[in-house]
Structure 1
């Protein structure tokens, strides 16, 4: 190895002999923050040590700040990097996954095109990412971009040596993490069958700091197996591995930490049938293609012939291997036109065979870790990916006979992310030589390694606005995507060159989104990712619609006044699914148009009486009008159905159902303003909710609270958090939810209650505003100043003129306000700037309306300005179910089951926008794809729908967290007693 002094001396000599090296051009590298929606993506393309080396060589390194990254930002600063918000000065930008379109920098630096390096997920023609590819190929109109100066795109996946072997990647780490997650799945599966195994102690990769810690923990599991063995009921543990690449090697390497005995495929029938099998070992079969592929005419497997004529081969894996396995670890790749390792029919055959084997009744052949993650690929029965938040799931193909069991699968598609430190170190080492070659190119230095330069050229997808090398075939999927955006999609088959994917454009589907308000962003983003779907964003504020649609080539803005039934009807007629985010009063009109044109509709709002009346006509037109699929109502329904299903599967009977939900400022943002509240959705909607009546049952007492007393009779303490102090309001009529959730007769329930959460003091202050007249819908007022709002509202409500002086107004208010609330109410009204005599400057007031408006509308306008979230502030959503259940016998002890979501807003979206918008988007796409059978005016009671929504929220990092705690003999101690006591206090005070 050449010594460091010699290297430095050689470098100095080169600088003297080459004048252009004496002052090399400055080059800046940027390390991108990964997409915020990828909550588990913690990897980084360069380590701080690598950054330090580059900085010493005169390279400027910029890093986007990120608290989730495996390396802290201050580690990069110590290495010599600078923190930069958007990397705009960077010539070379590095990331792991693809860059979100909104963050992609396409303008040149110093007149030189940039270079982006990432796993772009465009090189296989993935239609969902054609908008990203298009940004590297087409200059945007009006942007000032020049096509020849568009950035170069290099895909990490295409970096290979001269023989075509990949030189950088994470495959080995995917194999390692896949084994660990799959063993955890196996342990849980056996536990559900009533069997505990040593695999219960398998380390989850993301819960350890590095790989040595993981291997030490797994080795302890191996020692347990050596000493105590594995459960006899499941027979010998046999693990099968497929594949021959880095993924498979990672699997085999980590499995070596267990007491492994390798066996051959032909040994499996004898091994499973032998009572002499050693239960203190794990048997491992590495099944290779020649052992399970054969010609359809019986010819033996021949590798060259197989790749030349894959259609002439079939798989026997379902007969020769799968029935005997306790766990399959699938790491073999697959491509269109090649035989699957297992089809759905093959799975059915393997399960039939497994039933008659030792351990067959305890799950042999039913656990699969698909590390290849090809959906409906090599294993046809893989329906979807899973996530690190929820790594395994159960599935059964529709063709599987009813008497055969479902299959448990692990299919996380970002497994290396669970080993971020080791994976980042490995990747950083692998890319440094390529990165230095790019740097030398930007500096104009000589002596560039020709082999590395050729490798970078092979990995270049685009340069100067043109597809490069073997990637020119991507014109075809790019054309398919563009056709899907046109008014008349092409229906012809696209040709392709040999060895490239065969693509056929699908008929274009269209979603119409009505509304562009606070929760519309996540809806547009999620649907916009579906490149084959056209999204029309219609709004009476065209600028808002344009801003939402601009990031996506398949989204277009439209100006619409929903009162224009002609234009509304035309838009609905041309669409497949309508999403309405407009106020609830508009929904019946929109639904009538949807029913008329036989188009499905999705909305997050409650089913109003007017909507209920449309049920029969929706049924007659074979139309679904899906409501209550946002946050509350929405996720609360979905999570309640899920939790109740789990409780019923244990043979328990529900005694009490209590549920609370609220959108609030995060605690650190709640002190600004008297309400302890800020608006992440319509202020008018919040004020309307304060004017509803309520009906519920609590602690065996029926309550009916009329509208004037709703805020007075609140729950002064809702014990959800040990940290947060919360109060609650009963939410409309809870009694019908006994039927909605299948809880049985109301008289058999101790409690059935749904409520809304607020910080303490909200209810009392809002009650004062109601008593003053600020929440009235009549009469209409025209103000000469905002400071006259309270006087005008009060006079209108009580039909009584108040003298012009401030003292008379205060006296009049004191006469109607509850004792003890006058001073606080006056302070709040002064802060809002809606009474005369304000001593401090009133800032942030909206423009005074020039038309007559109701007091509640005027007050909502003020609140929207005064209690809006400021830049950098975040909101919080809390959803909490508490269900008390027990066995059906009267004296059985009760258990308290809870399901909780606590979500915070991000710099991009509020928590309210995410928790309302994403469920709407998930549901709309499921309806669009024809996966919802319901018709009529409905809520999300169909199981496939609510499960799909919960899975989508889990993948977005917004999953519910369930727990159960045992009660004592007889009645459990839950929320009921605390809520009942608080309600009685408020009623006594009232």
Structure 2
């Protein structure tokens, strides 16, 4: 009853017309009716409401003098007229809205508006659907789109040719928005034409040939401008002759026909091109424009209607092949149709009046605003008539005004079938009525579903990255490198607003979300949007997102060790066909890849492995190791300090050696890598890798040790910090300065700490750049306070660099006691801080990015199993090594010694 009552109120409002202000962008200054049309409607007895606008090309005062009522609130009107789509917040229920809704192709960006229109019982009329008895549009801005598009193309060509090193006559032209009228633009064109007649076009690109698609108002407008210049029309069969002997003082135009764009797949079936047959059976035809026409023309002016049933005019692959021939003459494309992902496939997003042209590189599938860049000039402004607001609005209103009386008097409360009080031109343009699509437009619902499915299949894969810290920028750089810019949709989730802001500023193509990863509901929501989740979080935080990935059916990548809790998810992940690929960083990661490669090759040579040692360290470059620890932080300081307390386990001389927590320095040994000298300590449980690597099968393994490299001095400093209690996590101290921290930590130790040891700790901190009065966080564990003190003190300074050192040594024994020793070494130097990526970030981010690529393509990667995985599959490891070398120049030096 409430809805019926609201509808009845509309009857009393019939005869009240409103013109809304345009709000889509700052260039939209057009209006559907101008003051002279308001004056005409007033004389016919209609009320006309106009929303005030200081941007509209006709002033508020002009409308007021014409008799309009300037009001913000348009609720008194039954019909609201606009030009572009209406924001959802401005759609009022139970009214008739008339605009270019851009919904008849089920355009994704406007489906939300359509849903709102349906829910608010709005009768929607689209100008684009207003047709006469010959199915021709009766209202539109098409001619002005063609005029503005052609003028912008000419100036764009001027800038592009200059960028390529050629002075040219088109530089005498301005973009259309520079001129106050079409007549003014045509005056400028006369000067350009005279210049062409006198000086011609650049010899390197002459003769210049313009190809025009379409026959409607858009193309007619473009041709009107083209004909202001010295020109001659030719046909497709004339192309070769004109290219060979054409006049540089003449521009050539070719009005492209359908038979120039496509041909029947079986030419014997269709000797003569039949337009009607093509329109009815487009699947029987194949494109030929990219080979027959495109290589020979200088510029394409595209104003043709297209939908997905028909072959595209130019695909990305066709454009890439054309560009790479090196013989194509095509310099520019004016995509006046401005249909993203449409007939010109690489029109991804429309350009703007501010920047109407960019240069598209077919090889990278990216566009840049750089007149000198490699590629092809591409423009696709979707509101070109806004560059000619006065003439376009007058022309449009002249066509529209005579339809307004019947529209204003019509009764939208009647069932749609009974709305016969308006003529067919308007009635056939009604898209929605009474909360439903009208019969003529019911196809939109099905088309929408098809488009959504197609978009889902063709959309870039969606990667959600958890963690915005030190490794994240390098991971993103690496991912964009291996996937290709524009080929992956990245969302970074983090808790630090400052880090997210830096990422957003550095990468304008990524999305950022600030949230606490312990918030299950928020995390579930963002993971639900992904194709793969990449966790760069601390290892202790992986389990929560892993369980959500399991619940939501999402694949996952981490660079961390597989915990027992993560391993417990294996069976369920495998059953669901999911990949949880872990240990894809440096250590663990690159060390696995090379180990599996060597193990495989020794096994193929029938060698039994008797010894395997592996050492890895992320360190400052030697000239930057200027502190007692010989260390600087390129990742979590807390993680480094905690790792120094780990227990460990390894096998040596056949016996298993257990290292208790806190005793790692007792097992330190000298390690030489090339000419560099380090101290190595065991890292965690090496013995478990006997089964992980398959080394336990022969029963001949005498030694397995995976360890961490540090410079001399690191463990001496850690021993002092340990003695005074700075690595404890089981207590909290109230100290606020470095001296107080050491004093309180030492006092809390079970045994007395000599004053000399405390002073030694203070001296070491001072040499690290931490004065005794330096403030530190209070009421935290000593280890956290020490981490905070060292975070800034031992950060890399401007111009400093880090490095990665990784070495494997295998001994294999074969028949006849033949012995083979295989040594593999990797040294990788990072860039200069802070301008370039660190070695640590690169060697973690690069394999993480490759792992992401493999998981995204898991169905094509035969080497990728399902479940919770380490990269211990030989094929997977060898693929990593190949791609690390190919994309990032990360590779090992290997030495084989036989005896």
User: Given the alignment of the two structures, is residue 578 of structure 1 paired with residue 496 of structure 2, yes or no?
Assistant: no
Task: Answer yes or no: is the 8 Å Cα contact 1:310–1:337 preserved in 2.
Answer: no
Task: Answer yes or no: is the 8 Å Cα contact 2:734–2:780 preserved in 1.
Answer: yes
Give the corresponding residue for 1:857: 784
Give the corresponding residue for 1:918: 846
Task: Answer yes or no: is the 8 Å Cα contact 2:828–2:890 preserved in 1.
Answer: no
Task: Answer yes or no: is the 8 Å Cα contact 2:479–2:846 preserved in 1.
Answer: no
Once the 2 structures are TM-superposed, how far is the Cα of residue 641 of structure 1 from its aligned partner? Answer: 1.5
Once the 2 structures are TM-superposed, how far is the Cα of residue 511 of structure 1 from its aligned partner? Answer: 1.0
Match of residue 820, structure 2, among 883, 888, 894: 894
Alignment of 1:784-863 (within 5 A): 784-798=736-750, 810-811=755-756, 813=757, 823=760, 825-832=761-768, 838=772, 845=774, 848-849=776-777, 852-863=779-790
Match of residue 523, structure 1, among 475, 483, 491: 475
Task: Answer yes or no: is the 8 Å Cα contact 1:877–1:903 preserved in 2.
Answer: yes
Alignment of 1:461-480 (within 5 A): 475=380
User: Given the alignment of the two structures, is residue 647 of structure 1 paired with residue 602 of structure 2, yes or no?
Assistant: yes
Deviations 1:149-199 (A, max 9, x none): xxxxxxxxx99543799xxxxxxxxxxxxxxxxxxxxxxxxxxxxxxxxxx
Root mean square deviation of aligned Cα = 4.7
Once the 2 structures are TM-superposed, how far is the Cα of residue 779 of structure 1 from its aligned partner? Answer: 0.8
Partner secondary structure for residue 489 of structure 2: strand
Q: Equivalents in 2 of 1:849, 1:312: separation in Å?
A: 79
Task: Answer yes or no: is the 8 Å Cα contact 1:512–1:578 preserved in 2.
Answer: yes
Give the corresponding residue for 2:36: none
Give the corresponding residue for 1:588: 543
Once the 2 structures are TM-superposed, how far is the Cα of residue 879 of structure 1 from its aligned partner? Answer: 1.1
Alignment of 1:219-618 (within 5 A): 475=380, 506-528=458-480, 529-618=484-573
Q: Equivalents in 1 of 2:688, 2:517: separation in Å?
A: 32
Once the 2 structures are TM-superposed, how far is the Cα of residue 476 of structure 1 from its aligned partner? Answer: 11
Q: Equivalents in 2 of 1:938, 1:464: separation in Å?
A: 43
Partner secondary structure for residue 458 of structure 2: coil
Alignment of 1:658-677 (within 5 A): 658-671=613-626, 673-677=627-631
Shift of the 894–643 alpha-carbon distance from structure 1 to 2, 3 Å rule, reads closer
Q: Equivalents in 1 of 2:159, 2:317: separation in Å?
A: 39
Task: Answer yes or no: is the 8 Å Cα contact 2:556–2:579 preserved in 1.
Answer: yes
Give the corresponding residue for 2:897: 966
User: Given the alignment of the two structures, is residue 885 of structure 1 paired with residue 838 of structure 2, yes or no?
Assistant: no
Once the 2 structures are TM-superposed, how far is the Cα of residue 655 of structure 1 from its aligned partner? Answer: 2.3
Shift of the 773–643 alpha-carbon distance from structure 1 to 2, 3 Å rule, reads same
Q: Equivalents in 1 of 2:316, 2:377: separation in Å?
A: 26
Match of residue 689, structure 1, among 621, 643, 647: 643
User: Given the alignment of the two structures, is residue 631 of structure 1 paired with residue 631 of structure 2, yes or no?
Assistant: no
Q: Equivalents in 2 of 1:910, 1:600: separation in Å?
A: 28
Partner secondary structure for residue 557 of structure 2: strand
Match of residue 720, structure 1, among 673, 679, 694: 673
Shift of the 118–828 alpha-carbon distance from structure 1 to 2, 3 Å rule, reads farther
Alignment of 1:189-204 (within 5 A): none
Once the 2 structures are TM-superposed, how far is the Cα of residue 505 of structure 1 from its aligned partner? Answer: 7.7
Q: Equivalents in 1 of 2:161, 2:741: separation in Å?
A: 58
Partner secondary structure for residue 719 of structure 2: helix
Deviations 1:130-149 (A, max 9, x none): xxxxxx9xxxxxxxxxxxxx
Q: Equivalents in 2 of 1:653, 1:335: separation in Å?
A: 61
Shift of the 770–476 alpha-carbon distance from structure 1 to 2, 3 Å rule, reads farther
Q: Equivalents in 2 of 1:651, 1:118: separation in Å?
A: 61
Shift of the 459–556 alpha-carbon distance from structure 1 to 2, 3 Å rule, reads closer
Q: Equivalents in 2 of 1:860, 1:118: separation in Å?
A: 54
Give the corresponding residue for 1:871: 798
Q: Equivalents in 2 of 1:536, 1:521: separation in Å?
A: 12
Once the 2 structures are TM-superposed, how far is the Cα of residue 937 of structure 1 from its aligned partner? Answer: 2.0
Task: Answer yes or no: is the 8 Å Cα contact 2:610–2:701 preserved in 1.
Answer: yes
Q: Equivalents in 2 of 1:505, 1:556: separation in Å?
A: 20
Match of residue 865, structure 2, among 929, 934, 941: 934
Once the 2 structures are TM-superposed, how far is the Cα of residue 929 of structure 1 from its aligned partner? Answer: 2.4
Once the 2 structures are TM-superposed, how far is the Cα of residue 829 of structure 1 from its aligned partner? Answer: 3.4
Task: Answer yes or no: is the 8 Å Cα contact 1:311–1:337 preserved in 2.
Answer: no
Q: Equivalents in 1 of 2:895, 2:318: separation in Å?
A: 38
Shift of the 554–798 alpha-carbon distance from structure 1 to 2, 3 Å rule, reads same
Q: Work out the number of aligned pairs and report it.
A: 509
Task: Answer yes or no: is the 8 Å Cα contact 2:608–2:698 preserved in 1.
Answer: no
Shift of the 376–114 alpha-carbon distance from structure 1 to 2, 3 Å rule, reads closer
Give the corresponding residue for 1:162: 206
- Please give the TM-score of this superposition, normalised by the length of structure 1: 0.46
Q: Equivalents in 2 of 1:584, 1:902: separation in Å?
A: 24
Task: Answer yes or no: is the 8 Å Cα contact 2:727–2:782 preserved in 1.
Answer: yes
Q: Equivalents in 2 of 1:338, 1:940: separation in Å?
A: 45
Unaligned runs of 5+ in 2: 1-157, 166-174, 176-201, 210-258, 268-286, 293-314, 327-356, 361-366, 383-446
Partner secondary structure for residue 521 of structure 1: helix
Q: Equivalents in 2 of 1:651, 1:376: separation in Å?
A: 47
Alignment of 1:65-76 (within 5 A): none
Q: Equivalents in 2 of 1:735, 1:919: separation in Å?
A: 25
Give the corresponding residue for 2:434: none
Q: Equivalents in 2 of 1:531, 1:336: separation in Å?
A: 26
Once the 2 structures are TM-superposed, how far is the Cα of residue 551 of structure 1 from its aligned partner? Answer: 3.8
Task: Answer yes or no: is the 8 Å Cα contact 1:712–1:767 preserved in 2.
Answer: no
Give the corresponding residue for 1:394: none
Task: Answer yes or no: is the 8 Å Cα contact 1:790–1:834 preserved in 2.
Answer: no
Shift of the 551–475 alpha-carbon distance from structure 1 to 2, 3 Å rule, reads farther
Deviates more, 1:535-544 or 1:615-624: 615-624
Partner secondary structure for residue 753 of structure 1: strand
Once the 2 structures are TM-superposed, how far is the Cα of residue 573 of structure 1 from its aligned partner? Answer: 1.5
User: Given the alignment of the two structures, is residue 757 of structure 1 paired with residue 693 of structure 2, yes or no?
Assistant: no
Q: Equivalents in 2 of 1:581, 1:667: separation in Å?
A: 28
User: Given the alignment of the two structures, is residue 622 of structure 1 paired with residue 567 of structure 2, yes or no?
Assistant: no
Task: Answer yes or no: is the 8 Å Cα contact 1:492–1:504 preserved in 2.
Answer: no
Shift of the 957–310 alpha-carbon distance from structure 1 to 2, 3 Å rule, reads farther
Once the 2 structures are TM-superposed, how far is the Cα of residue 586 of structure 1 from its aligned partner? Answer: 0.8
Task: Answer yes or no: is the 8 Å Cα contact 2:645–2:663 preserved in 1.
Answer: no
Give the corresponding residue for 1:247: none
Task: Answer yes or no: is the 8 Å Cα contact 1:663–1:912 preserved in 2.
Answer: yes
Unaligned runs of 5+ in 1: 1-111, 120-135, 137-157, 166-304, 314-333, 340-373, 381-412, 417-457, 478-488, 495-501, 803-808, 815-821, 969-990
Once the 2 structures are TM-superposed, how far is the Cα of residue 793 of structure 1 from its aligned partner? Answer: 1.6
Q: Equivalents in 1 of 2:677, 2:464: separation in Å?
A: 41
Shift of the 794–492 alpha-carbon distance from structure 1 to 2, 3 Å rule, reads same
